[in-house]
A and B are shown apart, each in its own frame.
Chain A
């Protein structure tokens, strides 16, 4: 489509239900009460000149350009700050208004460089537009007087510039930083003529700015402008698509010139992000065209050989013949595959279908194995559905938020902004986290309780909270009686009231004073609508699934389900981790979470797919690796995942891969897993294909092809070719046909079509006959399974405990600027904020070891050791250290262990007993791996062997 210029209504939408009718320029207009005159006019198709108003922030009334005349009212009120009244008569164009507006514009332009023709915002500048709209023809004041034309330019941020000489001090950027993002990094410094936008008196890069882009988007001039626009010029066409970063699933406009992406701009109609973005989705797009992209298929006989480029046909044919050879030699179950949470629903569906139909087994798994698999298990056991209960907008009615094991400002920043907005409105906040995450105290937000528990004590905390609610008579008894299984509840009540579950008894386990637990429990139970938001700090434990059930118990116990403002909400890590699970990527489930042993489902699929299907569960990723080491698993197809970097106990992962005879990796880059691969199939980025992603709120959004696939095939086409070569025919001509099949065979997706997604923008499953436009809130009236089921959640301490040899506990996680294994973000200027993984350590633990900030330290566990720089941080509690896994050469997962969640094998990333000591050099593993990596990424080019990236 041509460049999409979204309508700016000037002020936000009013949420008041009653309607008001007024007359603007003789035209009757009916709008919700509370609407500004400016917005009412725009809705009637009448534009009022404006500069300081934009509909993402509240009216400010400073620019004096949007003046109107209203019958019966004195003067010329600003239309942005004047709300509509019944029967009001408004005039937007009169000689008096025209004179006033021209005068105002004349003053603005008298202190503005007149370089429109060479300005980067030429053609995309509201100041320019307004000069035209008010008919400005001359500026009488000249430039002789004092002005701001020589104000300095701040180019410190890698993605945008701040050109102060072009600033009109409208405060839109400051207000966007406050109201939209909630960071409060910008301010107006000085008064009167000295007033200027300031990032706390520092360059943008050194300030509190998180580079979300809200200020750039709000700026009406070229003052805050993308460097890509400065370099390339304004874009000419838009493609509406879904972000390929975190599970928030923001809708973006990819804005292009030809096939060059100029910028990514958050789409106002996006139902998950409402026009907001974060530094990753907004700016970190350079990876898509990075020189490291592999654009030709490659094969090799041994992993120590250099890669040899071949045609798609040869690569596919080689991979298929290898898989067939292995199955003939070692048996049908000796091969499997891994679907990707970074690929589309259609692609993951196709991979799992190929494995079940062409391989003839259920050895398919996905990266949810290492993140939210306990969510699926725990919520299905209690609520009957493996998904979160709410839409994001539900938080607008939450009175109490309990954030458990999640760090939304870093990992889900756009939703964090929505949370912070509600918190600034007065909602209460309970944080359960060993670390002092930013939400504990950030501008205008302060947690009412920070339960800084010992890592591994989640279930003890949730039991203690439930114990208080039951024993203090705070349970929603009527709700439980009506909605929950009575027998299961009575069994649970008998369990939870036992003294062993009291906060006092568990104090030594949780490390939290009992009074704090009691206070938090009372607040959650009695504070109004209470919503739980949680992340991998819940799931990545030996009792991850138990904890998910514990949270579900708590919500059922207090009646916090089935309406807005409440619920149990997983904050999913990757963009399509929900979708990958929905699509049947687990070895025990078909799409829609139906067990492979369910005869009726299996028969239906067999009829549709024309193939016999296995009714026994297949291997999970760690099981595949174990079986490989045992010699019974020999071939693996990995689409868009990097298990060598992301999965626990790296040495075990690589031992498993080394034991295989054919590993096929399909990815944008030669990732770490490709070091152990025999076939490489080039992947396509989200810009290069059609499909859908499903975000954390079950929202299915379209991914639309903006440019042609750089390697020639979209990922689904490569999978289809492999399936055909294996002998199982697939003949889709477009991903919409794959979605049609998904809808035909999956009851929760029965009503999903591309046409509907185009019409509605997105839909949340279940989307079927009962809910043709989707289901924002689950379990209204009754649970998906009929009755909610309380599950017993006995606290079982992990076997991973600190010892004299390994006295500290390591937890791993993520930060704002990097994403997962860094494949994308580490190939962008985001590295300016985080160029290496560091070990956060409490000052007392550091002092005991003679460690100073920045020192190289060794981090050792029973699995292995690495070396990385130390960062002394009071965010940590004594005895607990923290690092990220964003950079391959750090090898953070060399240290993590094979221990995992009891129900799902989700790794226990959050609890590893470690020792930290000063180090003089990198670890032996890091040195050895570095050398192996250099060898194994070599590519034959024109008869010469080149190390990749040379």
Chain B
């Protein structure tokens, strides 16, 4: 998928969980990614983060470390 779209989708998830206390928000994003993103999408996300993760919501960056 286009990186821009991937970032948009990941950030939308973070926008939802951002309303929660920080720990719950990170866990929420991590759990959502694990439950609904197919492994190749997760691989793309991790590779994108490894290259700097430009534009990703801070919650996504933190959550990705848990998956």
Contact = CB atoms under 8 A, between A and B. Distances in A.
Contacts of B12: 542, 796, 902
A242 B15 CA distance: 42
A526 interface: no
Nearest to B44: A630
A799 B8 contact: yes
Contacts of A597: 34-35
B19 A617 contact: no
B38 A616 contact: yes
B38 A623 contact: yes
A796 B15 contact: yes
Given A495-B19, A792-B20, A903-B16, A617 B35 contact: yes
B36 A588 contact: yes
Given A588-B35, A617-B35, A902 B40 contact: no
Interface in A594-627: 595, 597, 616-620, 623, 626-627
B37 A617 contact: yes
Contacts of B34: 597
A794 interface: yes
Contacts of B20: 491, 792
Contacts of A629: 1
Q: Would you call the interface of chain B mostly helix, strand, loop, or mixed?
A: helix
Contacts of B49: none
Given A794-B15, A794-B18, A898-B5, A903 B32 contact: yes
A863 interface: no
A617 B38 contact: yes
A587 interface: yes
A597 B8 CA distance: 26
B9 interface: yes
Contacts, number: 65
A627 B1 contact: yes
Contacts of A363: 38
A617 B32 CA distance: 11
Given A626-B1, A627-B1, A630-B1, A902 B38 contact: no
A796 B35 contact: no
A545 B21 CA distance: 20
B58 interface: no
Given A626-B5, A630-B1, A898-B5, A616 B15 contact: no
A844 to B, nearest CB: 33
B5 A902 contact: no
B44 to A, nearest CB: 9
A777 to B, nearest CB: 29
Interface size class of A (residues with CB under 8 A): 35 or more
A627 B36 contact: no
A396 interface: no
B27 interface: no
Interface string B16-33: 101111000000000010
A938 B12 CA distance: 44
B55 interface: no
A355 to B, nearest CB: 13
A796 B16 contact: yes
Contact of A595 (B13, B35, B39): B35
A588 B39 CA distance: 12
A903 B13 CA distance: 7
A902 B9 contact: yes
A546 B1 contact: no
A836 to B, nearest CB: 32
Interface in A162-203: none
B38 A618 contact: yes
Contacts of A630: 1
Contacts of B2: 626
Interface in A627-650: 627, 629-630, 632
A33 to B, nearest CB: 54
A620 B36 CA distance: 9
A333 interface: yes
Contacts of A899: 8
Nearest to A632: B40
Nearest to A904: B36
A597 B5 CA distance: 26
A898 B7 CA distance: 13
Given A616-B38, A617-B38, A794 B16 contact: yes
Interface in A787-814: 792-794, 796, 799
Contacts of B19: 495, 792-794
Given A333-B40, A623-B41, A627-B1, A902 B16 contact: yes
Contacts of A546: 16
A431 B19 CA distance: 28
B5 to A, nearest CB: 6
A324 to B, nearest CB: 21
B39 A623 contact: no
A902 B36 contact: no
Nearest to A596: B35
A902 B1 contact: no
A617 B36 contact: yes
B43 to A, nearest CB: 10
A617 B21 CA distance: 27
B12 to A, nearest CB: 4
Contacts of A595: 35
A375 to B, nearest CB: 16
Nearest to B37: A617
Contacts of A793: 19
Nearest to A492: B19
A178 to B, nearest CB: 46
Contacts of A616: 38-39
A759 B64 CA distance: 53
Nearest to A629: B1
Nearest to B41: A623
Contacts of A900: 9
A513 to B, nearest CB: 26
A903 B36 contact: yes
A282 to B, nearest CB: 40
A588 B34 CA distance: 10
B38 A619 contact: yes
Contacts of A495: 19
Nearest to A797: B15
B59 to A, nearest CB: 12
A629 B5 CA distance: 13
Contacts of A903: 13, 16, 32, 36
Contacts of B18: 794
Interface of B: 1-2, 5, 8-9, 12-13, 15-16, 18-21, 32, 34-41
29 contacts: A333-B38, A362-B38, A363-B38, A491-B21, A495-B19, A543-B16, A588-B35, A597-B34, A616-B38, A616-B39, A617-B35, A617-B36, A617-B37, A617-B38, A619-B38, A620-B38, A623-B1, A623-B41, A630-B1, A632-B40, A794-B16, A796-B12, A796-B15, A898-B5, A899-B8, A900-B9, A902-B16, A903-B36, A904-B36
Interface of A: 333, 362-363, 491, 495, 542-543, 545-546, 587-588, 595, 597, 616-620, 623, 626-627, 629-630, 632, 792-794, 796, 799, 898-900, 902-905
Given A495-B19, A626-B2, 15 more contacts: A595-B35, A597-B35, A616-B38, A616-B39, A617-B35, A626-B5, A627-B1, A792-B19, A792-B20, A793-B19, A794-B15, A796-B12, A902-B16, A903-B36, A905-B9
Which 3 A/B pairs are nearest by Cβ-Cβ distance?
Answer: A902-B12, A626-B1, A794-B19
